[in-house]
């Protein structure tokens, strides 16, 4: 059994390395608006901070190829519309609809390209989506919720056949995660981080929420925003290799979960 697990893990790492190596970084280089809202990034070509949107963009692009149709997308936690603008700048247009959900909206979101904006508190137990989607994005939102698994379970009910939930957040090794979560909850500010994730928790969350985890990777071993190193694609590739090899030490972890897992455990309590 131990040998089988080792083989599966090695196969997963190789697959992740191959996948991320073949994703182009050129779409990061062209993200002028996103770089501009954080002045330190304006003079760099491949800011590591933008890799969060790069991962999501590639998941979305691959999902469109897989399904062969314009996508129905719902994004939970949209902030200033960074994700939507990243995809616009990357000139990906095979989108049937893109619904944005957040606890508040701003006028600038009207220009971002959302089909519809929904104001809702996704942390409430009665929150649910009224329609089904091919892609649901939960990018840097789950760490702000006290019970993120409950939201994920609800979202799993809102996927079309072969639909995906994609997202990411800061990552912590399993042995440290529990105590670190207890600590940050004592001092968390309003809308601050209150949940801590390890790769182990990500895997359990997928299983508990009837989803199949088919991609997970860390993003970096060193992020210094605005550094001259971020103008070299080799530096970014080196960080991505580290993230694939050591996801629990990858600064942030990004993942894709596919609907259709009928062997899940009980609903999250």
Q: Is the pLDDT of residue 168 over 90?
A: yes
- Is residue 19 within 8 A of residue 240, CB to CB? The reply is no
Going from N- to C-terminal start, the domains of the chain cover 2-259
Q: What pLDDT is attached to residue 10?
A: 63
Q: Read off the pLDDT of each residue in 144-150 and give the average, rounded to a whole number.
A: 96
pLDDT over 70 percentage in the chain: 93
Tokens of 148: 């993120």
pLDDT digits (tens, 9 = 90+) for 177-199: 999 999 999 999 888 999 999 99
Q: Which helix (H) or strand (E) holds 119?
A: strand 116-119
Q: Is the pLDDT of residue 239 over 70?
A: yes
More confident residue, 261 or 207: 207
Q: Is the pLDDT of residue 35 over 50?
A: yes
pLDDT over 90 percentage in the chain: 83
Q: Is the pLDDT of residue 22 over 50?
A: yes
User: What distance in Å separates the CA atoms of residue 237 and residue 35, rounded to the nearest whole number?
Assistant: 19
**Ranges 36-45, 150-159, 188-197: which has the least confidence:** 36-45
Q: Is the pLDDT of residue 67 over 80?
A: yes
Q: Is the pLDDT of residue 139 over 90?
A: yes
Would you place residue 263 in the very low, low, confident or very high pLDDT band (cuts 50, 70, 90)?
Answer: low
Q: What is the CATH number of domain 2-259?
A: 3.40.50.150
pLDDT digits (tens, 9 = 90+) for 76-114: 999 999 999 999 999 999 999 999 999 998 888 989 999
Q: What is the DSSP string of 61-102?
A: HHHHHHHTS-EEEEEE--TTTHHHHHHHHTT---EEEEEEEE
Q: Of the candidates 194, 210, 198, which has an alpha carbon nearest to the alpha carbon of residue 249? A: 198
Buried b (16+ CB within 10 A) or exposed e, 84-103: bbbbbbbeeeebeebbbbbe
CA 190 to chain centre: 22
HSE of 177 in the Cβ direction (CA atoms, 13 Å)?
A: 17
Packed helices 2-22 and 233-245: angle between N→C axes, nearest 10 degrees: 160
- Cβ contacts of 144-151, under 8 Å, gap ≥ 24: 144/77, 144/191, 144/192, 144/193, 144/194, 144/195, 145/194, 145/195, 146/194, 146/195, 147/123, 147/268, 148/195, 148/205, 149/205, 149/208, 149/209, 149/268, 150/125, 150/268, 151/76, 151/122, 151/123, 151/127
Residue 118 pairs with which residues in a beta bridge?
Answer: 101
């Amino acid at each position: 059994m131990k040998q089988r697990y080792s083989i599966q893990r090695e196969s997963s790492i190789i697959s992740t390395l191959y996948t991320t190596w073949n994703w182009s970084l050129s779409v990061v280089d062209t993200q002028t608006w996103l770089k501009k809202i954080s002045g330190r990034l304006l003079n760099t070509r491949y800011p590591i901070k933008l890799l969060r949107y790069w991962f999501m963009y590639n998941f979305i692009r691959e999902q469109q190829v897989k399904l062969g149709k314009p996508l129905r997308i719902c994004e939970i936690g949209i902030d200033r519309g960074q994700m939507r603008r990243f995809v616009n700048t990357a000139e990906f247009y095979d989108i049937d609809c893109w619904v944005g959900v957040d606890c508040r909206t701003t006028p600038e979101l009207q220009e971002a390209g959302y089909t519809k904006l929904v104001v809702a508190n996704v942390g409430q137990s009665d929150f649910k989506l009224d329609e089904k989607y091919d892609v649901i994005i939960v990018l840097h939102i789950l760490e702000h919720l006290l019970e993120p698994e409950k939201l994920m379970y609800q979202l799993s009910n809102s996927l079309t056949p072969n639909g995906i939930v994609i997202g990411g957040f800061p990552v912590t090794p399993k042995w440290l995660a529990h105590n670190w979560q207890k600590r940050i909850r004592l001092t968390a500010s309003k809308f601050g981080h209150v949940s801590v994730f390890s790769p182990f928790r990500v895997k359990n969350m997928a299983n508990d929420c009837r989803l199949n985890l088919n991609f997970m990777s860390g993003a970096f071993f060193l992020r210094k925003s605005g550094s001259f190193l971020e103008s070299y694609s080799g530096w970014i590739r080196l960080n991505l290799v580290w993230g694939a090899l050591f996801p629990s030490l990858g600064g942030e972890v990004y993942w894709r979960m596919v609907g259709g897992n009928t062997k899940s455990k009980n609903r999250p309590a």
